[in-house]
């Protein structure tokens, strides 16, 4: 009887441990932050775009001429794209490569495509590649660094 009770008492942690794999891991959870960033970008919602980043985040933007660091610089960088209602489409299968550096740090690299209208009125499509460094702070995944560059012609 004692043995049966000892086995029963140890079951909740075992059940929890065996089901925890059914939930998303750090890489999947972190990539959701990239999807949320893309949704904010496509909604032209600069406040939501900025909220996707940490306060000290840096962005090497696809069209940027300098490194944007912090909320004011990010707002200056993303504002024109939002005013032109530019769009981004993540590659259908998500990131090409995801590397968990720890439980709270993930690097995602892959491809996306920007589209919209240039200031001169011409439509454009711009294939690009990205790297996001994502960190979990206070339980939420946010972008700490974002590098984007044009995808070379094949």
Q: For 92, phi and psi rounded to 5 degrees?
A: -55, -35
- Residue ranges of domains in the chain: 25-150
Task: Kindly state the DSSP code that residue 151 receives in the 8-state scheme.
Answer: P
How many whole angstroms separate alpha carbon 89 and alpha carbon 79?
18
Q: What is the mean pLDDT of residues 132-152?
A: 96
> What integer is the mean pLDDT of 34-61?
97
pLDDT at 27: 87
Q: What is the CATH number of domain 25-150?
A: 3.10.450.50
C-beta atoms surrounding 41 within 10 Å = 21
Closest C-alpha to 129, from 80, 62, 74:
62
Residue with tokens 């998500």: 94
pLDDT recorded at residue 24: 59
Give the pLDDT band (50/70/90) at residue 1.
Answer: very low
Quick check: helix, strand or coil at residue 69?
strand
With a cut of 70, say whether residue 21 has pLDDT above it.
Answer: no
Average pLDDT, the chain: 86
**Tokens, residue 74:** 């990010």
């Amino acid at each position: 009887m004692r043995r049966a009770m000892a086995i029963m008492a140890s079951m909740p942690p075992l059940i929890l441990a065996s089901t925890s794999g059914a939930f998303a891991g750090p890489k999947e959870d972190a990539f959701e932050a990239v999807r949320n960033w893309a949704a904010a970008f496509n909604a032209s919602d600069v406040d939501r775009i900025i909220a996707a980043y940490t306060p000290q985040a840096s962005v090497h933007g696809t069209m940027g001429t300098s490194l944007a660091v912090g909320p004011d610089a990010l707002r200056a960088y993303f504002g024109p794209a939002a005013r032109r209602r530019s769009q981004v489409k993540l590659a259908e299968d998500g990131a090409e490569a995801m590397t968990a550096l720890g439980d709270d740090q993930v690097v995602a690299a892959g491809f996306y495509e920007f589209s919209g209208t240039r200031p001169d009125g011409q439509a454009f499509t711009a294939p690009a590649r990205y790297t996001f460094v994502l960190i979990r702070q206070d339980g939420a995944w946010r972008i700490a660094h974002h590098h984007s560059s044009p995808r070379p012609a094949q």
